[in-house]
Amino acid sequence: MSASNEHPAERPGQDPVRLIGVRESALSVDEVFRAVGDDAAGGIALFVGTVRNHDGGADVDALGYSCHPSAEAEMRRVAEKVVAEYPVRALAAVHRVGDLRVGDLAVVVAVACPHRAEAFEACRKLIDDLKHEVPIWKHQKFSDGTEEWVGAC
């Protein structure tokens, strides 16, 4: 296997999980992109999740994210699972908590791999698993005065 196709486990001392965070402050696409920079990566896939102005046919005015104290550790666990499954050179994921408005960034994830197809697949796996496995909950506030919790047990 050439160095560009080397699996992260074969690079002792280099943790491909470069940035994991749950934050109350605004997220930065640039910070996440810089975190996954790697000269051996031929492809970087980046996903940005934003607060949209509607859900299920109802107008959304704002929403709030809250999380369990284990959320950041769970994000790392999910990230390490993706690293074990794909030839990830570098990975970063940050999620916002607190009150957000329409247009705000809610989550930013990026994965750098030797090739673009691997980067796309790994990035999709990362965001899908974060949404399903990390204990972060969304409280939506609709224009008609109703509210809804999403992802809460």
Number of domains in the chain: 1
The CA distance from 136 to 121, in Å, is 23
Look at residue 124 and tell me if it is in a domain. Answer: yes
Q: With respect to residue 43, please indicate whether it lies within any of the assigned structural domains.
A: yes
Q: Is 56 part of any domain?
A: yes
| Higher local confidence (pLDDT), 6 or 124 | 124
DSSP H helix total and E strand total for the chain: 3, 9
Of 46, 45, 43, 47, nearest in space to 115 by CA: 43
Residue 28 covered by a domain: yes
Cα 36 to Cα 91: distance, rounded to the nearest angstrom:
6
Residue 63 lies in a domain: yes
State the CATH number of the domain containing residue 103.
3.90.1170.40
pLDDT value of residue 14:
84
- Assess if residue 2 is contained within a domain: no
| Residues of the domain holding 103 | 19-143
Could you read off the pLDDT of 110-150 as tens digits, one per residue?
Answer: 999 999 999 999 999 999 999 999 999 999 999 999 999 98
Dihedral sign computed on CA atoms, order 84, 86, 91, 95? negative
Phi, psi of 88 (to 5 degrees): -80, 125
Which amino acid, 35?
A
Write down the pTM of the prediction: 0.89
- 92 CB-near residues (< 8 Å, 6+ apart): 17, 18, 19, 20, 32, 35, 36, 108, 109, 110
- Six-digit token string for 50: 């934003």
Does residue 150 form part of some domain?
A: no
Is residue 69 within 8 A of residue 89, CB to CB? The reply is no
Does 1 fall in a domain?
Answer: no
What does the pLDDT read at residue 12?
53
